[in-house]
Amino acid sequence: MRQAATQTLAISPYLIVFVLYASMVEVGILNYQKALVQYAGYNAWMAIPITGIGMHLVIWMIYRICSSNGGTDVIEINQRYFGSWIGRALNAAIVCYFAFGAFITFRVYLALIQYMLFPEINLVFISAIIAILLYYTVSGGFRSIAGLCFWGVLCSFAFVVPLNLLGLNYLHPQNLFPLWNHSAAEQLLSAKSMVFSFTGIETLLIYYPFIQTPEKSKKWAHWTVLLVTVYYLITALLTFMYYSEGQLQKVIWPTLHRVALIKLPLIQRVEYLVISILLVKIMASIALGLWSACRGAKYSLRMNQPVALMLFLSGFLIVVAFVKNEIMIKQMADFYASVGFYFLFAYIPFLFVLTLFKKTPSRNYTKE
């Protein structure tokens, strides 16, 4: 039986705030409002708390699943519950899911650079530079990634959040009225579309053994989900009060465009600053997804972790060369969103139900 993380490789319980936040708030924060309003219009802001409640349930189930299995991760749990062959097949699918999620974030950020900053940039060249930085970060292990998450979240709160609060004089609160002119079914469809913005939370299934005294981290995890829900809610309300529904459909990156209209004395193009700062947090999110995929590959596919990382990053560079237009990126993102929804609200509840009926294994599980 493999070993879990030693105390020197694990993080303190409160640091889960930064890891979870970085995994949930990424490049999607710039345009999630467009998908959100498709079903419930500007009443869709009510769907965000609904999704937040769903995420609290997911967190609660993940803690119950992992703690009931001796503090191990989903890779070993699958093999315990489903046997060697089916367990390995499920683990291989999870490895692909995490790697694909990391690639989606990677590619969308490249599209952002190309659209907002340098339309003629060579994507393969900039991809190679980011890939080298990602290799260096992921090779450093989970604590290095947690450190990057810390700085990414800190930069976000120190620069990006205050910029969002500028321009409050241009808001139109009447855009939010009438408050209820959509059905409950439409609100639920909006809540489903919002799930994509929270994907990344499921990486907790992999790094759970790397948390010192996981039970103490549970309250921090729930506080983080609440914080992220409030952040998404405030950003959506600000966007809805700034744009009419017709204007919102014509803007590609609503959050960024709103910030770009702000002119500071020394910085005329504020979006350049925002996109540059955002790189730190995006890197943290991608690194966490890649690390999860590599760790899964190590134990389910018997693959050396550095080799797996090299393969994934090489795959990123190859696919970037072929995925060149927005339609392909959107199709891939929509597919990932669908898989992520069922991962969170079908697979994890299924594991939870199995956990309730399975015997708790003897606690001879040691840490790596």
pLDDT of residue 282: 92
pLDDT of residue 61: 97
Mutual orientation of helices 270-300 and 305-322 as an angle, nearest 10°? 130
Q: Which residues contact 245 (CB under 8 A, 6 or more apart)?
A: 37, 41, 42
Report how far apart, in Å, the C-alpha atoms of 41 and of each of 35, 83, 191, 248 are.
Answer: 10, 46, 12, 11
The C-alpha atoms of residue 304 and residue 298 are separated, in whole angstroms, by 6
Q: Can the peptide bond before residue 254 be classed as cis, meaning omega within 30 degrees of 0?
A: no
Residue type, 278: L
How is residue 242 written in tokens?
Answer: 């700034």
pLDDT of residue 30: 85
pLDDT of residue 201: 95
pLDDT of residue 359: 62
Tens-level pLDDT at each residue, the chain (368 residues):
455 556 678 899 999 999 999 999 988 888 888 888 888 889 999 999 999 999 999 999 999 999 999 889 999 999 999 998 999 999 999 999 999 999 999 999 999 888 888 888 888 899 999 999 999 999 999 999 999 999 999 988 877 777 777 777 788 888 888 887 888 899 899 999 999 999 999 999 999 999 999 999 999 999 999 999 999 999 999 999 988 888 888 888 888 888 777 777 777 777 788 888 889 989 999 999 999 999 999 988 888 999 999 999 999 999 998 887 888 999 999 999 999 999 999 999 999 999 998 765 544 444 33
Sign of CA dihedral 315, 318, 320, 322: negative
Residue type, 75: I
How is residue 236 written in tokens?
Answer: 């959506």
pLDDT of residue 367: 38
Three-class SS of residue 128?
helix
pLDDT of residue 156: 82
